Chain A
Amino acid sequence: MRQQIKVFLPRIFIYLLLIFVSLPIVIAYLWLFSSSISRELTFGVLPRSFTLDNWRFLWSEIKIGTKVFENIWPVTFNSILLAGSITVAEVIISLLAGFALSRMNFFGKDYIMKTAIILHAFPGVALLIALFYVLNFIGLLDKIIGVVMVKVALELPMATWMIKGFFDEFPWDIEWAAYIDGCTRFQAWYRIILPQIKPGIAAVAIFAFLAGWSEFIYSYTFLFSSENYTLAVFLKNLIGDFRFLDYGLLAATGLFYLIPVIVFFLISQKSLMKMTFGGMKG
């Protein structure tokens, strides 16, 4: 009996502690949800009366004073385009580079690998002004594709590093067999190895999508015209104008922005949790 108490007491204590520290997070997100479907809240979190009015941005225009906001759907499309392109580009480029770094021996490889580590530690955001000039020079300013390239470049060292680990695990014999069958390097990469490292590809893709979907600072700085706004920029403007005016509207828009992330996260949760040191920004 005493033995059991000795085992259980710390367990119960740990549970209580966990619940206590996790509660604020749960409350905050519950709050977001409640205020999006209700006009008034009880105890700050529970909905009192149900309304869809806060979600009106989905089917009608949002107006404040005489000012009309952008329609949400083109903005959403931009966000999908941005996150989608980032995912595709990042996966393809990191798969190519990861393969070379893991399975090939070439001049300069050591330098590239070393710099890849240092690069991830590099203050990309601190170079904002210079990035402006680069984008301007190659004519990709105020274009979503420009933000895509900057973001991909910033995430690339980490993604490559991560994917290289998967290539490293892949048995050399199988690849060797492919070459004996007359495959070129590229064919071996594409036909034999890639299908085998799907979990790695999935992990890189998930991180890339999440990073792209949440991207804020570059879109905010490098996209000028309202037709190129992404959800993050749109929401930032909405917050500026509505923060003390219409909490419900903000909550609904915020939730709208958050839904894909949550869905994506829940689907990929298990594989995400297994990643060690993997491509997360801190």
Chain B
Amino acid sequence: MQEQGLVVDKKKAKKNITENYRSFLTALPFIGPFLLLIILFYFTPVILTLIMSLTGMDFTLEWKFSGLENYIKLFHDQNVELVIINTIKYVVFTLVINVGFGFLLAIATGYFIKDENVGLLFQTIWMLPRMTPAVIYALLWLWFLDPTEVGMLNILSGKLFVLPPQNWILNHPMGVVIIANGMIGASLGMVVFSAAIKSIPIDYFQAASVDGASDWDIIRHVIIPFLKWPIMFMTIWQTLSLITSYEYILLLTDGGPLNKSEVWSLFSYHKAFSNYEFGYGAAISVVLVIIAIIIALIMLKLFGYEAMMNRGKIKV
């Protein structure tokens, strides 16, 4: 019914422009600040970035138009291939941890552990990395992986396997970055999935256990079907977050050694802020913006706009 109302409303809208503005004006006090911030800090920067990507802006911070030069340069940059591979590796493997491990944690804390407080305790522990400010989280990792004999991992590997101290970040930069990010993402998966598990009607579990189903059967035939949508949603959502975020990588490895953990967004940051190639950095960002929009549109298509917005009750 509301749907129809809206369609009618839309048709009217075309005919009667003044009415549109009147309706917009009544909503303006509520929606205004939101719109203003969005325009200022999303739309304007995107447009600026687009323009900037067509300039050779450098350390002088001057807008010197250079056409598509930056994009051509990007095409010839020998680092691009490595950066793309890194980005794919980073996104895919971190996703596996985020979603896969998050799912395991959710099952463990939300299904197997019946004592709610114990479940909550483990969930709290896993929330810690997410709650910790990035600077400190990175610091903890740097200590954990300290290349000398005082590093925690070196103490462990030394005591358990009698190995000499290793420089973990140097030898496995991608691994470190993926695990550090994965541990943060896993908690999000955990919270979302365990909430979804809790929302499964208890009858399903009871019916299953009366039938003598094992835990494995329950996971396979009850939980997973119910979690299909949350899992898909998380996967796409995290993909978006991962391709655009670089804060932890910046703090942990700074893309090094030798670009081995340089991902696309960090590549843009480095070009702009370390090399002062602002125009070039902007061009690299634009590519990212386009990819992000494509993924977002896919997400919208897949889940449906209606489902995502769970349309509210509108009466006018």
Q: A-side interface residues toward B, CB under 8 Å?
A: 6, 10-11, 14-15, 17-18, 22, 24-29, 31-32, 43-44, 92-94, 96-97, 99-109, 112-115, 117-119, 121-131, 133-134, 138, 149-150, 152-154, 156-157, 160-161, 164-165, 167-168, 172, 176, 185-186, 189, 210, 213-214, 216-217, 221, 231-232, 235-236, 239, 243, 247, 250, 254, 257-258, 261-262, 265-266, 269-270, 272-277, 280-282
Contact = CB atoms under 8 A, between A and B. Distances in A.
B161 interface: no
Interface of B: 5-6, 9, 13, 20-21, 23-24, 26-27, 29-35, 37-38, 40-42, 44-46, 48-49, 52, 98, 105, 108-109, 112-113, 120, 122-136, 139-140, 142-144, 150, 152, 155, 183-185, 188, 191-192, 194-196, 214-215, 230, 233, 237-238, 240-247, 250-251, 265, 268-269, 272-273, 278, 281-282, 285, 288-289, 292-293, 295-297, 299-300, 305, 308-316
Nearest to B142: A243
Given A26-B125, A156-B38, A277-B233, A126 B288 contact: yes
A32 B140 contact: yes
B38 A129 contact: no
Interface of B, secondary structure class, is: helix
B13 to A, nearest CB: 6
Interface of A is mostly: helix
Given A93-B37, A129-B272, A130-B52, A22 B312 contact: no
A15 B40 contact: no
B26 A185 contact: yes
Contacts of B24: 106-108
Given A25-B129, A134-B44, A127 B49 contact: yes
Contacts of A121: 237, 240, 292-293, 295-296, 299
Given A97-B30, A105-B316, A186-B29, 12 more contacts: A10-B112, A14-B113, A28-B144, A29-B128, A107-B24, A108-B24, A122-B42, A127-B45, A133-B45, A168-B312, A168-B313, A216-B251
A25 B315 contact: no
Given A119-B38, A133-B48, A273-B195, A216 B292 contact: no
Contacts of A112: 31, 35
Nearest to A118: B296
Contacts of A92: 33
B183 to A, nearest CB: 8
Contacts of B37: 93, 149, 152-153, 156
Contact of B127 (A134, A157, A254, A265): A265
Contact of A18 (B122, B155, B312): B122
